Structure 1
């Protein structure tokens, strides 16, 4: 998964005004991992079905990899050629620049009411929803059942149990007892899951950054002293271990346990790894919350197609289409109707997603409504690995990141 989540979307047009046709342009991210699974196929099929029911509307979809899609949309907007719709990783900068329609100007009341509330709330900038959740994911602790059986251990429910399990796995020669990917690819995710399991997070309940809180310093001090310092995280320094490499090592049977999202189910399953999934342990019991991630759909105001955009989105977010996307890419639905259907389903594919689905209503998302988050995320990816290095200072690194966040926050506030 390359985005926060990993998903693709392409959108199209709808309803005609008068006798003239309308072409809706959608730029979407690719959640597939090959040409055969490209999101372009999903969206082309959806657009064709929509066009067959709306003679005055064409939907043009352009799908780009997650490495390129955010930059592509920015380039289009900067050049004065914004798409009608974009399905990408972040919306706040465009909302702050007054480029987007509020969701209430686009969606029917029924569609708006169907979104899971904490995902819809995360789409707000200055208390107005501009970001429309598109697909979601949470994290759970994956563990290798074969390696656990050989070590005679059970899945952990507390940090001390996790450390004891990791030591037992190391004693049996497991290469990565607990894989801790704090490398630059997706360190902000692993960091957030640990901050939540330690009882805090990136921000407090009113959205103020609390990166250097006493709880967060304690969390990273524990990681440095009890896991990394005791050689329980494997041969690659956490600051150099990327999430994709950690997932690949798990699929190769070299990892005892790690935080993972739904795509790891297929990746490990293809290699025949016998694995289990449990909630991430907290310091002394259940973690404060699981980390949730969602990607975003948004409608740009430039071309004035609010009615058409909204009608197409009501189609995109029908229960049938939301479930089809979730099934295609192993992601969680963002609507209550589709979530309930998946929860009640007895299919093997849906049952695999139930541990993630169960966590979604209480999960905590990145502070995506802050225009400063992009800069903070970059700084975390670059620096957090140093906090657990042999000569690293958890309090020093977290204090530095807090200063970066505070500066970015005040800068974005004045700019907004």
Structure 2
């Protein structure tokens, strides 16, 4: 299903420009589909920019990246696409850079870590659209019944999980390393062990000593001891783990703002702390971002820039973030949300965003590397497995994908 939102207005003269915008649907039901947001933005923009119309097509997340790829391949690229990745299009020379489109104040307003994550060869092509970070969630009721304080270290996690298992908790620690989004769970654990997907100069470092140590600990202290629940981590998808948490069946798991809202709606008393590390709370958090970009094909650089300058106003940025329990991508909108008590539930996530670490979005090889992680990382913690061997295989595939660019 697609929904096309054509801006209203007269037929206009020959000077009129129609911007084609393709966007992803963040809605979870008919009531909160993203069409409504884009319709409001498009019509408001048109009212203040006569001569520019905006035609928006909204696709489900399952289809949007493929649809845009097909349009680009057919020589019918949209002017603007709001999707999951930008690097391939940037490398192929199909995108305008940020400084070719945006006014200086708007470009300077992105959170620096997000602006950096939007760069290819040091030039920003990906404009961050929306973001989220992760914290460790725990069920306060289950922890209270077991007399446990909030975990701060890996050993706390192991000890608390053992105590919860003794009390019959189904998933003492839910560890979703299934194919749905295990690249996120993997990065969170890597960061908590002092590692990451890349090293200080941006080269893949997936089988680093720190990462091997982290997954060896996970296997030995949580999985081998039966503390991760009835489903093997490699078979457990994030959605299933989150659903179990909202039913009160999970003691601890890594979560994001949308889960917080859903769990509280279901009556779960949610505790949240920074990701525990080997010796204390992890200093950085994992961040996730989605992207919006301007394509060169139709030559509408100036009009695209005007639309982006309008779209990245605090009002529009906050409205979208608020609707979908996400985080804003600009300094001014973040500051505004932090000052507003209505957004208090998100404040803990907002605090972690400026120092969050993101996937290596600027690598065109990241899509392949991510697929390898999703396919293989669950095997690293299987009974009898060697985490180092599995991480080395993923590392080889990522490096080969990069070499083939």
TM tier, smaller: over 0.9
Q: Aligned pair 1:305/2:292, yes or no?
A: no
Q: Aligned pair 1:148/2:143, yes or no?
A: yes
Cα separation, 1, equivalents of 2:150 and 2:4: 36
The aligned residue for residue 34 of structure 1 is 29
Q: Aligned pair 1:372/2:365, yes or no?
A: yes
The aligned residue for residue 5 of structure 1 is none
Q: Aligned pair 1:116/2:111, yes or no?
A: yes
CA distance 1:269–1:386, change in 2 (3 Å): same
**Pairs within 5 Å for 1:307-386:** 307-347=302-342, 350-386=343-379
Shift of 1:10: 8.9
Cα separation, 2, equivalents of 1:278 and 1:286: 8
Q: Aligned pair 1:169/2:164, yes or no?
A: yes
Q: Please give the per-residue CA displacement for 1:363-407, whole angstroms capped at 9, x wherever unaligned.
A: 100000000000000000000000000021100000101100110
Cα separation, 1, equivalents of 2:339 and 2:244: 33
Cα separation, 2, equivalents of 1:383 and 1:358: 32
State the SS of the aligned residue for 2:55: strand
Question: Is the 8 Å Cα contact of residues 9 and 27 (structure 1) preserved in structure 2?
Answer: no
The aligned residue for residue 220 of structure 1 is 215
Q: Please give the per-residue CA displacement for 1:154-198, whole angstroms capped at 9, x wherever unaligned.
A: 111100011101111101100000000000000000000000000
Q: Aligned pair 1:233/2:228, yes or no?
A: yes
In the superposition, the TM-score normalised over structure 2's length comes to: 0.97
Cα separation, 2, equivalents of 1:356 and 1:362: 11
Worse-matched range after superposition: 387-396 or 279-288 = 279-288
Q: Aligned pair 1:394/2:387, yes or no?
A: yes
Question: Is the 8 Å Cα contact of residues 386 and 392 (structure 1) preserved in structure 2?
Answer: yes
Worse-matched range after superposition: 306-315 or 281-290 = 281-290
Aligned residues: 402
State the SS of the aligned residue for 2:396: helix
Question: Is the 8 Å Cα contact of residues 7 and 39 (structure 2) preserved in structure 1?
Answer: no
State the SS of the aligned residue for 2:252: strand
Q: Aligned pair 1:24/2:19, yes or no?
A: yes
Q: Please give the per-residue CA displacement for 1:185-223, whole angstroms capped at 9, x wherever unaligned.
A: 000000000000000100011111111111100000000
Shift of 1:267: 1.3
The aligned residue for residue 205 of structure 1 is 200
What root-mean-square deviation, in Å, do the aligned CA atoms of Structure 1 and Structure 2 show?
1.9
Shift of 1:20: 1.4
Cα separation, 2, equivalents of 1:147 and 1:301: 54
State the SS of the aligned residue for 1:273: coil
The aligned residue for residue 287 of structure 2 is 292
Question: Is the 8 Å Cα contact of residues 7 and 43 (structure 2) preserved in structure 1?
Answer: no
Question: Is the 8 Å Cα contact of residues 9 and 30 (structure 1) preserved in structure 2?
Answer: no
Gaps of 5+ in 2: none
Question: Is the 8 Å Cα contact of residues 20 and 54 (structure 2) preserved in structure 1?
Answer: yes
Shift of 1:49: 1.0
State the SS of the aligned residue for 1:333: coil
Q: 180, 190, 193: which is aligned to 1:185?
A: 180
The runs of 4+ residues in structure 1 deviating greater than 3 Å are: 8-13
Question: Is the 8 Å Cα contact of residues 23 and 58 (structure 2) preserved in structure 1?
Answer: yes
Question: Is the 8 Å Cα contact of residues 12 and 25 (structure 1) preserved in structure 2?
Answer: no
Shift of 1:286: 2.3
Q: Please give the per-residue CA displacement for 1:112-147, whole angstroms capped at 9, x wherever unaligned.
A: 011001100110001100000000000000100000
State the SS of the aligned residue for 2:272: strand
Question: Is the 8 Å Cα contact of residues 239 and 385 (structure 1) preserved in structure 2?
Answer: yes
In the superposition, the TM-score normalised over structure 1's length comes to: 0.94
The aligned residue for residue 59 of structure 2 is 64
The aligned residue for residue 3 of structure 1 is none
Cα separation, 1, equivalents of 2:392 and 2:353: 30
Question: Is the 8 Å Cα contact of residues 10 and 87 (structure 1) preserved in structure 2?
Answer: no
Gaps of 5+ in 1: 1-7
Cα separation, 2, equivalents of 1:288 and 1:331: 21
